Structure 1
Amino acid sequence: MVIVDEVIIEKLKLLGLREYEARIYATLVVLGPSKASEIAKESEVPRPRVYDVLKELHKKGFVDISEGNPTYFRAVEPEKVIASLRDKYLKSSEEVIIKLKSYQKEQREEWMPVWSLQGEWNIKSKVEDLADRAKKELIIAFVDGKLALKFKKAFEKVKHRGLDVKILLLEKNKRYLNALNRFGEARCIQLEKILDRESEDFREVLAEALFSNKTPYNVKGIFVRDGEESILIYEEGGILKGLIITIPFIPMFQRKMMLHFIEKSKEKS
């Protein structure tokens, strides 16, 4: 039996093929020219459906037919099929964006102080938007340097505009620190030195409240724009999430906290 990777089937479906179309096309790529009975057996698509699916694939230009007794079918070259699916997908995407935009009513001017985010691509996009809106500075703190570098596009945006960029790395890792220094002033202070202390300084109390592992969520990083808006990135149940915060005093406190520890890091060096 032909074994077709399920990941391939799912990706073909994402590009617009139906389940049976994806299975039959992928099977034909592996088999080469074949009879419908062979395709049914190897693809595990119910035999009564195979002819209809093959005809649909032929109509789309993805399968060629050699009429005869028996009739043979062959897959059109994958690079051509994938290019066709991709072009159709992109065209449909653009049409949907235009159509949805045309449906949008005038936005209501309501102040929503906190928005919850999920999905790494969405969080990265929102951070890039934040970087675009920065007027003077972007202050950043990250527990994990590897995760911080996933946001390098946002760092590049503010660096390109000549804004003040300060980055606090809460782990001792020279490689990540050097990489982050390309985007602005990067400093390092170990997280343990923040958490394992008793202090009445509100900045250190805030840091302990944010980065303590005693809560169900695990803060990974913070971006603060001009002391007016912040995005807090955290992990909960193994899922990366985020909070956009525009309540005025919270981004201001977060900024003061991060600048405090950036100065502390200078004392250590």
Structure 2
Amino acid sequence: MNLTPHGRISTMESIPTSLIKSLNDLGLSNYDARVYAALVLYDNAEAKEIIDFLSISKPSVYEALDHLADMGLAVKRISKPARYSAISPEMAINLLMDKHRDAGEQALAALITLEKKKVRTDKEDALWTIYGDANIEYKIRDLFGKAKRQISCMIGERYLKFIEKVKIRDVSLKLIVISDDEALQGKLLALFPGKNADVHVISPAQFSVPPPFAPPEFVEITKLMNFENTLELIIDDEELLMIPPFISSSVSVLNTRNKGAILQTKMFSQLNWNRFIDGGEMPFPPPPAPKKKRS
């Protein structure tokens, strides 16, 4: 810490930029954060000392001091000239956290009310693309959490960490996890207990076996796929989240409320369920052989 000949701190190096950013995140402006940090450094100080130390304008310092006093983060001592001191950092952080918590609870209640009045638009039928693991994780957890009647999901093991700690309602859950880990079945049953959960583990190799009436190109198609990338998630027959099983260095998700896309995906999901879980055949007859033309 650098001091002047009078023993005063002379540089902002004593106040880390990271501290100012953290105080910003807790709701303080740049000036409020810098003035509060300066007051913590001083046992008590006049406005002029803070102005000299921070090298910011007199009006900005006085405005910050008044704001800090109104918030209860600083105490103004009646004297001429007036002197200011900061409340303890522990008390200040608790005060700011309580303020954020109260604001968050009020905002959540108001937003839930707005969500119930949601205006439906034609754009809900569009296909939206979501990028980035953090955004994908949030969307998966969001859909699992808000399902009210049923969840139908086929998911690669790589995404399992996104739903391990998610809380879901007592809804019908049909879940297929694509993995070579045979012990995963027991773990999944523990994660999703209850009579409404129908959970299974299918190996990627099983998906490579051609289904009945598969086209001749099926073997070549499977070489271009990584089934562990698969994600098909439908909630309440109202919203779809899908990641195709393609080989790719980056992952993007298709998200839609389009009824046609949902019903088509649901149909193919049911075909897979019938094939891998129920052990049945494809529920449609083979296509008729093309008629030979008479020469």
* TM score, norm. by length of structure 2: 0.59
Structure 2 distance, partners of 1:259, 1:237, is 31
**Is residue 231 from structure 1 mapped to residue 241 from structure 2 by the alignment?**
yes
Which residue of 9, 14, 29 corresponds with 1:2? 14
- Cα distance in 1 for partners of 2:276, 2:48 equals 70
Q: Which has the higher contact order (CA 8 A, sep 6+)?
A: 1
CA gap 1:40/1:168 in 2 versus in 1, 3 angstroms:
farther
Deviation of 1:64 after TM superposition, in Å, equals 1.4
Q: Would you say the 8 A contact 1:228–1:251 is kept in 2?
A: no
1:187 corresponds to: 200
Q: Partners of 1:22 and 1:65 in 2: how far apart?
A: 17
Structure 2 spans left out of the alignment, 5+ residues: 1-12, 280-295
Q: Decide which of 270, 273, 281 is 1:255's aligned counterpart.
A: 270
Q: Who is 1:57 aligned against?
A: 68
2:56 maps to 1:46? yes
- Whether 1:87 and 2:99 are equivalent positions in the alignment is no
SS of residue paired to 2:64: helix
C-alpha distance 178-240 of structure 1, shift in aligned 2 (>3 A): farther
Are the equivalent residues in 1 in contact too, given 2:75–2:85 (CA < 8 A)?
A: yes
If you compute each CA radius of gyration, which structure gives the higher value, 1 or 2? 2
Provide the residue aligned with 1:116 in structure 2.
128
Say what the alpha-carbon RMSD is for the aligned residues. Answer: 4.4
**Match among 201, 215, 223 for residue 214 of structure 2:** 201
Q: Where does residue 18 of structure 1 map in the other structure?
A: 29
Tell me which residue corresponds to 1:74.
86
- 1:170 partner letter: I
Please report how far the alpha carbon of residue 17 of structure 1 lies from its aligned counterpart in structure 2 after TM superposition: 2.6
Aligned partners of 2:77 and 2:142: how far apart in 1? 49
Aligned positions of 1:121-132 closer than 5 A: 121-129=138-146, 131-132=147-148
Segment drifting more, 80-89 vs 223-232: 223-232
The aligned counterpart of 1:267 is none
Distance 1:258 1:226, change over 3 A: farther
Q: Distance in 2 between matches of 1:24 and 1:46?
A: 10
Letter in 1 for 2:141: K
Counterpart selection for 1:221 from 221, 231, 240: 231
User: Deviation at 1:253?
Assistant: 0.9
User: Deviations for 1:94-113, whole angstroms, at most 9, x for unmatched residues?
Assistant: 45766x679x69645x5844
More helix by share: 1
Say which SS state the counterpart of residue 152 (structure 1) adopts.
Answer: coil
Q: Determine the C-alpha separation between the residues in 1 that align with 2:15 and 2:250.
A: 32
Identity %: 20
Q: Which residue of 2 aligns with 1:169?
A: 177
Residues 195-227 of structure 1 deviation map (CA, whole Å, 9 limit, x = unaligned): 5x666638x96xx67x9259xxx9452223577
- Distance change (3 Å), C-alpha of 1:263 and 1:97: closer
- Aligned equivalents of 2:198 and 2:23: distance in 1? 45
Mapped contact 1:113–1:246 kept (Cα < 8 A): yes
Q: Is the 8 A contact 2:243 2:253 kept in 1?
A: yes
Q: CA deviation at 1:74?
A: 0.7
What's the CA shift for 1:71?
1.8
Give the C-alpha shift of residue 73 in structure 1.
1.9
Shift in CA distance, 122/41, structure 1 to aligned 2, threshold 3 Å:
farther
| Number of equivalenced pairs | 241
Structure 2 SS opposite 1:243: strand
